[in-house]
Amino acid sequence: MASMNASLGYNQTTQPAQVSSGFMLRYLMAVVGIYLAVMTPVTITLAIRVAALAPDSKASSLGFILGVGALIAMVANPLLGQLSDLTRSRFGRRKPWVVGGMLVAVGALLGLGSAGSLMLVALYWWLTQIAINASLAALVAVIPDRIPKQQRGRLSALSGMSSNLAIFAGAAVINVVGTDDIWMFVVPGVLGLALVAVFAARYPEPEVAELPPKPFRPMAMLRNFLFDPRQHPDFSWAWLSRFLVQYGASVMMTYQVYYLMDVVGFSHVTVGKPVFVASLLMGGAIVVMSLLSGWLSDVTGRRKVFVFVASLVYAAGLALLMVGSSFAMFLAAILVSSCGLGIYLAVDQALVVDVLPSRAEDAAKNMGIFNISNVAPQSLAPATAPLFLAIGGGGNYGALFCAAAVIAVLGALAVIPIKGVR
């Protein structure tokens, strides 16, 4: 039994066995499913619902709901990830949380779809964030649990592009079901649950019988989050890089609907189709660049140069939004930024797993700490965006995207001090 656990990834010093392409495909679809449930509201439907309920304060209301939701996710992900690390069920450490979280998320999305006030919209969205992060924290931990180093670049590429594939899939779903009723929230959630269930049914999770039991101690769990950057500088620099780049990505994702409405001139009724076109372009660019970059990173054994170049390309895409206001310019910006994001997401997660502390026993917790760099910008972006938009009297999207581009460049610079990987 001990040798089985080592071969499957519970031994910090022994490489897990390589996984099949079928495993990678099922994993990709599961991550896409989780993001389909959460990113469709973030990028499309939540903005539409908020605009319908509070047309005169839509930007600030959306910023508050998403901002608080991101703060909740920032706490929930590492906390629930640590509970996954502690789990010793006959179904394993990860599957109960992966499936259970999505079941709760579907229920919360059902409530969100029927909510008739901003308060109910906010409450159901915050519950959705908790449930989604329970599922996501456990699923992300599968990589350090089960994936050997020589395959992490490719699986990181698949995982990295999953959120953008989900955005495209969500736009396609909304293009079919429309934006007028409950189904724009429920259908993405149900599809996400189905994809997660397929992965869980086929996942050969490492057995936990040989792992030492870890009692549930709330105060000890809280102390575990006191992370000292000086003890793990490579992990800390990787965290900072993701935080800065993700801020730029959060600005783009959160405000693309309002940019198309306020600058390009679409209405809340017609904005679904251009978002679908942009998502199609984004998804194609990210898939191509992610697969190519992940493969090249594994072949060359290099991570940092890909992350550095990707951050600069993404910043260039954001900068394009400052020089034009047409739909064609918006699509050009989406194409360039998506190429950069595809390269970045393909390699960045593999870099993080390579320098992850305590990979054998605390993978979900430490990946959850890293995931704070994903979700904190989702709170910071809508909280700070109104400050940039207000420059010059309001509606200054040029200032907003300029700030996001500069911060993304700083994210590129943050990978330079990392020494544990090339």
pLDDT above 80 (res 8): no
pLDDT at 212: 58
**With bands split at pLDDT 50, 70 and 90, how would you rate the model's confidence at 10?**
very low
Rounded CA-CA distance 113/179 in Å is 10
pLDDT at 362 over 70: no
C-alpha torsion sign, points 44, 49, 51, 57: negative
Among 105-109, 224-228, 338-342, top mean pLDDT goes to 105-109
DSSP H helical ranges for 141-267: 142-146, 152-177, 183-202, 218-223, 233-259
pLDDT at 1 exceeding the cut of 60: no
Give residue 99's identity as a one-letter amino acid code.
Answer: V
- Average pLDDT value over all residues in the chain: 80
**Residue 392 has what pLDDT?**
80
CB atoms closer than 10 angstroms to residue 270: 11
Paired tokens of 235: 């992990």
Short-list 363, 86, 87, CA closest to 221: 86
For residue 13, give every residue at least 6 positions away whose Cβ sits within 8 Å of its Cβ, in sequence order, or none.
none
Please give the domain boundaries of the chain with CATH numbers for all domains: 17-205+229-413 (1.20.1250.20)
Residues 23-48 have pLDDT tens digits of 888 998 999 999 999 989 988 888 88
Q: Which residues contact 177 (CB under 8 A, 6 or more apart)?
A: 183, 184, 187
Q: Which residues pair with 89 in a beta bridge?
A: 92
pLDDT at 7: 35
The yes-or-no verdict on residue 320 having pLDDT over 90 is no
Q: What is the mean pLDDT of residues 296-324?
A: 81
Name the pTM for this structure.
0.68
Q: How confident is the model at residue 119, as a pLDDT?
A: 93
Confidence category of residue 11, pLDDT binned at 50, 70, 90: very low
The closest alpha carbon to 39, from 153, 155, 176, 188, belongs to: 188
Rounded to an integer, the average pLDDT of 264-289 is 81
Q: What is the pLDDT of residues 210-262, one digit of tens each?
A: 555 565 565 555 566 666 667 778 878 888 888 888 888 888 777 888 888 88
Please report, rounded to a whole number, the percentage of residues in the chain having pLDDT higher than 70.
85
Contact 173, 188 (CB under 8 A): yes
The string of pLDDT tens digits covering residues 147-187 is 777 777 777 777 767 777 788 788 889 888 887 778 999 99
pLDDT of residue 369: 75
